[in-house]
Structure 1
Amino acid sequence: MTVTDRIRRRLAVDGVEATPAAVVRAVRRGNEVLGDTAVLRLADQVRDELLGAGPLAPLLADPSITDVLVNGVQVWVDRGAGLQRAAVRLGSPEDVRRLAQRLVAACGRRLDDGQPYADARLPDGTRLHAVLPPVATGGPYLSLRTFRQRPFSLGDLVACGTVDEAVAPVLSAMVGARLAYLVCGGTGSGKTTLLATLLGLVPPTERIVLVEDAAELRPVHPHVVALQARTANVEGAGAVGLTDLVRQALRMRPDRLVIGECRGAEIVDLLGALNTGHDGGAGTLHANAPGDVPARLEALGLLGGLPRSALHAQVVAALQIILLVRRTESGRVLESVSVLVPSGPDRLATVVPAWQCGAGPGPGAPVLGRMLGERGVPAPPILRAAR
């Protein structure tokens, strides 16, 4: 019998909750010869196995790791340069199954043969997705996306190479001019990090209302209120979607309305809000290239019952900027800044690059400069040089 099993049995016999103090007392009772430091270290390990992430806890605590993936009993981690195997022993697939079920149950979700997959959010903000066999043929499979409390400033992103130093003033001017923008890119490309950083540039006199599917944005700003979607409970009731939350947010006197990720019909409500005086709104969107954004918005607009022509009319009136971030071998980088302009007799939304990493200003630079000037914000030098 392992130490954890003995402690678990002891706590069950005593009928006490597995609090840190109770675990320490139980460890001391069975390991009287250990010193204080060793007892506390063993108690932390036991508590992780009883209530926490068990052998995965050290990985989730590592600030360099963004993702922890479990395939059966194999563990992979991502430190920003691709996936690498981690030397972590999880035991048998049955041990991994129990770990997944414990983590999901602690978040009020269900994971069993009748519901073999689940999304959950751990107390520290880590996002968890778990799938059990037989759906997971080689499983169980766990996917954990870590949440870091430490925010980044624009200077931090410049220092680490995510944002080119020459384009940083453009981002600051864009926020100061209250231009509406979308941060686009693939999964894990750094969209949320860049958006949170830009929200930190919003003047402290303005109120930011966040609407998110899962609470991830933590901008450094004195006046932020956040609304988080809720999934249905085990009875299938109580779900609250992003569309409902956007409508609630509009009644909360937002100076800046932000949707953490646009993925459904809520895009219609966001565009409607940005067209009714709520300047400076923002959000993230999954897209592989700036030119893909209009088609992606069309697809989401159809989910909300908005026809193509009306969607494009809303887009060109509500959104001005597209920022594309991409994940590379050297890290995450802001690849381009583009403007949305109407084009052709149907005035369809068209993406025109204003700046591209490695290429400098593009044909949309003068357009972006004029947008800033019309709102009383001087165009940064990189945009003025492109005229």
Structure 2
Amino acid sequence: MRRAPRAYVSGMSAPFVARPSWLPPEVPTPSGPVPHVVTLAGVQPEASGGADDALAVLGPLAPYAARGAVTDLFVNGSRGLWIDRGAGAERVVDWAADEPEVRALATRLVAAGGRHLDEAAPAVDVRLGRGIRVHAVLPPIATGGTTISVRVPRAAGRTLADLVPSPGHLARLRAAVARRENVLMTGAAGSGKTTLLAALLAEVPATERIVVVEDVAELSIDHPHVVGLEARQPNLEGRGHVGLDALVREALRMRPDRIVVGECRGPELRELLGALNTGHDGGAGTLHANSLDDVPARLEALGAGIGLSAEAVARLAASALDLVVHLERRDDERVIAGIGALRLDGGRLVVETVS
């Protein structure tokens, strides 16, 4: 019988006991009850640093995360497990878990990331080892049972040239770094914004200091001088919350040569645009948007949520952002769909395609 990785069972307390339905798929379930112990809370990968050890924190999901080029895993309560290898979600037929098991797994994964998942905090996002990101939602918020969404980074070590096959796009992005232009990466979830941004920032000269602000740390940048700041949820008493907007202000006090916000979606937009308008060139951020043409409307909507008029957002964004790079997912590839520049047209923000 193949047992759980040693990272789960050595020296860990309060084990999470799952039924034999969670045995790795390549091993048939033996007859009779066989305990399969998976301990998640506080787990760190073993010192060997192999791929299996890095994924071990995912417990019973680890064998499925290790299947080839899997980038995402989705557990939808007791209804099953889906994985995405780049061509869309596909159901895993050899996975079985009931709602209590899925809820217990979600709780342990969140605890492994240093946060709590319960009725008071029914939706939580955490980062585990090697940039693995886990999002979990409990019922009744999740109407079909506890849901777990896992993002597994797969592009570690890939350079900008590896990710951008178009010579024209590659030259334009490298020029943006050299000219210290402020860049906004846009696209839908899973389009590759974070991956491309990390590769772009790896092109920054080694003499520069990059300060990265993220809600959940995902950016893995191959650069010698990167400082990361991660937002913090409130504790069980509702205290200790540290938001992205506060972290952007702190980052400005750290003498960054370049400031990066992992995802703009709230008050941090005002702080970032303000910073990029006051001499902090070479910055970057990401934004969810459906197309290049939708970027102005998305920025205006975020601005409205924090009390900024459309005109104010337009002036700030047109002045602060030099380049917008939009990514799309087409079939099994993530591609640059277009590169644009923001400008004012009659007081309104518009995007003009440049590549």
* Bin for the TM-score computed over the shorter chain: 0.7 to 0.9
Counterpart residue number, 1:352: 352
Question: Compared with structure 1, are the counterparts of its residues 95 and 224 closer, same or farther at alpha carbon in structure 2 (3 Å cutoff)?
Answer: same
- Counterpart secondary structure, 1:129: strand
Q: Which amino acid is the alignment partner of residue 307 of structure 1?
A: S
Q: CA deviation at 1:114?
A: 5.2
Which range is displaced more, 68-77 or 93-102?
93-102
In the alignment, the residues of structure 1 paired with residue 349 and residue 144 of structure 2 have an alpha-carbon distance, to the nearest angstrom, of: 45
In the alignment, the residues of structure 2 paired with residue 203 and residue 18 of structure 1 have an alpha-carbon distance, to the nearest angstrom, of: 38
Q: CA deviation at 1:79?
A: 0.7
Counterpart residue number, 2:231: 229
| 1:3–1:46 Cα contact (<8 Å) kept | no
Aligned length: 317
Larger helix percent:
1
Q: CA deviation at 1:120?
A: 2.6
Q: Which amino acid is the alignment partner of residue 151 of structure 1?
A: G
- Counterpart secondary structure, 1:263: coil
Q: CA deviation at 1:138?
A: 2.6
In the alignment, the residues of structure 2 paired with residue 324 and residue 19 of structure 1 have an alpha-carbon distance, to the nearest angstrom, of: 40
Compute the TM-score of the two structures, normalised by the length of structure 1: 0.75
Q: Which amino acid is the alignment partner of residue 69 of structure 1?
A: F
Counterpart residue number, 1:151: 157
Match of 2:116 among 106, 110, 113: 110
Task: Map Cα deviations across residues 60-110 of structure 1 (whole Å, 9 max, x no partner).
Answer: 334611110011231100111101112332332222222222222333333
Question: Compared with structure 1, are the counterparts of its residues 301 and 70 closer, same or farther at alpha carbon in structure 2 (3 Å cutoff)?
Answer: same
Which range is displaced more, 316-325 or 124-133?
124-133
In the alignment, the residues of structure 2 paired with residue 62 and residue 257 of structure 1 have an alpha-carbon distance, to the nearest angstrom, of: 36
Structure 1: segments with no counterpart, 5+ residues: 8-16, 24-44, 356-387
Q: CA deviation at 1:268?
A: 0.9
Which range is displaced more, 134-143 or 186-195?
134-143
Counterpart residue number, 1:324: 326
In the alignment, the residues of structure 2 paired with residue 295 and residue 330 of structure 1 have an alpha-carbon distance, to the nearest angstrom, of: 28
Q: Which amino acid is the alignment partner of residue 84 of structure 1?
A: E
Moved over 6 A (4+): 45-48
Match of 1:67 among 69, 72, 76: 72
- Counterpart secondary structure, 1:119: strand
Match of 1:89 among 67, 90, 95: 95
| 1:55–1:88 Cα contact (<8 Å) kept | no
Counterpart residue number, 2:180: 178
Structure 2: segments with no counterpart, 5+ residues: 13-33, 41-56
Counterpart residue number, 1:41: none
| 1:212–1:228 Cα contact (<8 Å) kept | yes
In the alignment, the residues of structure 2 paired with residue 149 and residue 342 of structure 1 have an alpha-carbon distance, to the nearest angstrom, of: 36
| 1:90–1:96 Cα contact (<8 Å) kept | no
Compute the TM-score of the two structures, normalised by the length of structure 2: 0.82
In the alignment, the residues of structure 1 paired with residue 167 and residue 349 of structure 2 have an alpha-carbon distance, to the nearest angstrom, of: 29
Counterpart residue number, 1:169: 171
Q: Which amino acid is the alignment partner of residue 279 of structure 1?
A: D
| 2:9–2:38 Cα contact (<8 Å) kept | no
Counterpart residue number, 2:60: 55
Question: Compared with structure 1, are the counterparts of its residues 95 and 244 closer, same or farther at alpha carbon in structure 2 (3 Å cutoff)?
Answer: same
Task: Map Cα deviations across residues 47-71 of structure 1 (whole Å, 9 max, x no partner).
Answer: 8723343321112334611110011
Match of 1:119 among 107, 116, 125: 125
Q: CA deviation at 1:113?
A: 4.7
- Aligned residues: percent identity? 50
Match of 1:303 among 287, 305, 312: 305
In the alignment, the residues of structure 2 paired with residue 144 and residue 132 of structure 1 have an alpha-carbon distance, to the nearest angstrom, of: 15
In the alignment, the residues of structure 1 paired with residue 305 and residue 141 of structure 2 have an alpha-carbon distance, to the nearest angstrom, of: 28
RMSD of Structure 2 on Structure 1 (CA): 2.7
Task: Map Cα deviations across residues 263-297 of structure 1 (whole Å, 9 max, x no partner).
Answer: 01111111111111111111000111112111211
In the alignment, the residues of structure 2 paired with residue 55 and residue 19 of structure 1 have an alpha-carbon distance, to the nearest angstrom, of: 11
Q: CA deviation at 1:125?
A: 3.0
Q: CA deviation at 1:319?
A: 0.9
| 1:211–1:242 Cα contact (<8 Å) kept | yes
| 1:181–1:319 Cα contact (<8 Å) kept | yes
Q: CA deviation at 1:317?
A: 1.2
In the alignment, the residues of structure 2 paired with residue 216 and residue 46 of structure 1 have an alpha-carbon distance, to the nearest angstrom, of: 34
| 1:63–1:148 Cα contact (<8 Å) kept | no
In the alignment, the residues of structure 2 paired with residue 215 and residue 86 of structure 1 have an alpha-carbon distance, to the nearest angstrom, of: 28
In the alignment, the residues of structure 2 paired with residue 119 and residue 280 of structure 1 have an alpha-carbon distance, to the nearest angstrom, of: 29
Alignment of 1:369-380 (within 5 A): none
In the alignment, the residues of structure 2 paired with residue 262 and residue 190 of structure 1 have an alpha-carbon distance, to the nearest angstrom, of: 16
Which range is displaced more, 276-285 or 311-320?
311-320
Q: CA deviation at 1:115?
A: 4.4
1:101 and 2:107 correspond: yes
Counterpart residue number, 2:82: 76
| 1:206–1:256 Cα contact (<8 Å) kept | yes
